[in-house]
Amino acid sequence: MHTVEKPRIEELPTLASLKRAALLAGVAVVAILVTVVLPAERAIDPTGVGRILGLTDMGEIKRELAEEAERDRLLHESGQSSSLLRDMLGLFAGAAQAQEQVWTDVVSFTLEPDASAEIKLVMQAGDVATYAWTAQGGRINFDLHAHGDGQSVDYDRGRGATEGAGRIEAGFAGEHGWFWRNRDDAAITVTLQLGGVYSEIVETR
């Protein structure tokens, strides 16, 4: 029969060493939380280490996606979407405006659920372009912005929209246009009518 020797008292860890080990473990957990977990999951980076490691960018993307999904959910649940009557009136108004405007280009594309597309106009400073677009089959999110020549600007954005119209006056040379994303459950066809001054249409899907 094998007998296990009983450890001597002096071989056992002391209370002070146990407290020290627990303290070190707690400090390590807090350090990992602050430098890794918070930047990667919440884009909270009090030390700046997460930005260096690229974790903060990951957290910002996760946060933006979560916020976008939550806004979409609230939009559908709260009934903030326009009524059918308002939609019909909006379509008539858009059609009337389209008849008065002379369009030089028409771009049409279909987005499946969760798909996205970008349409940009290459413009010089001072150029003015006009536009009108409609979404058929559902509601769509959009962001109208521009970048170039070391500058950027946001013109307009919307969620759960079915149409848009207006003008873009370029304050600097670059690409001015739209990012669309289909957050609905069905395919959506976007038709964009364009007029005014621009040198090129750039499409990314």
Q: What is the pLDDT of residue 81?
A: 47
User: Is residue 160 over pLDDT 90?
Assistant: yes
pLDDT tens-digit readout, 34-61: 777 777 777 777 777 767 777 777 777 7
Confidence of residue 83 (pLDDT cuts 50, 70, 90): very low
Architecture (CATH level 2) of domain 84-204: Sandwich (2.60)
* Contact in structure between 163 and 82 (CB atoms under 8 Å): no
User: Is residue 178 over pLDDT 60?
Assistant: yes
Q: What is the pLDDT of residue 98?
A: 45
Q: What is this structure's pTM?
A: 0.54
Confidence of residue 26 (pLDDT cuts 50, 70, 90): confident
Q: What is the pLDDT of residue 77?
A: 62
CA distance 164 to 94: 8
More confident: 16 or 199 = 199
Please state the domain extents for the chain: 13-78, 84-204
DSSP bridge pairs for 163: 134
pLDDT tens-digit readout, 87-145: 555 554 454 444 556 899 999 999 999 999 999 999 999 999 999 999 999 999 999 99
Per-residue b/e over 66-94, b at no fewer than 16 CB within 10 Å? eeeeeebeebeeeeeeeeeeeeeebeeeb
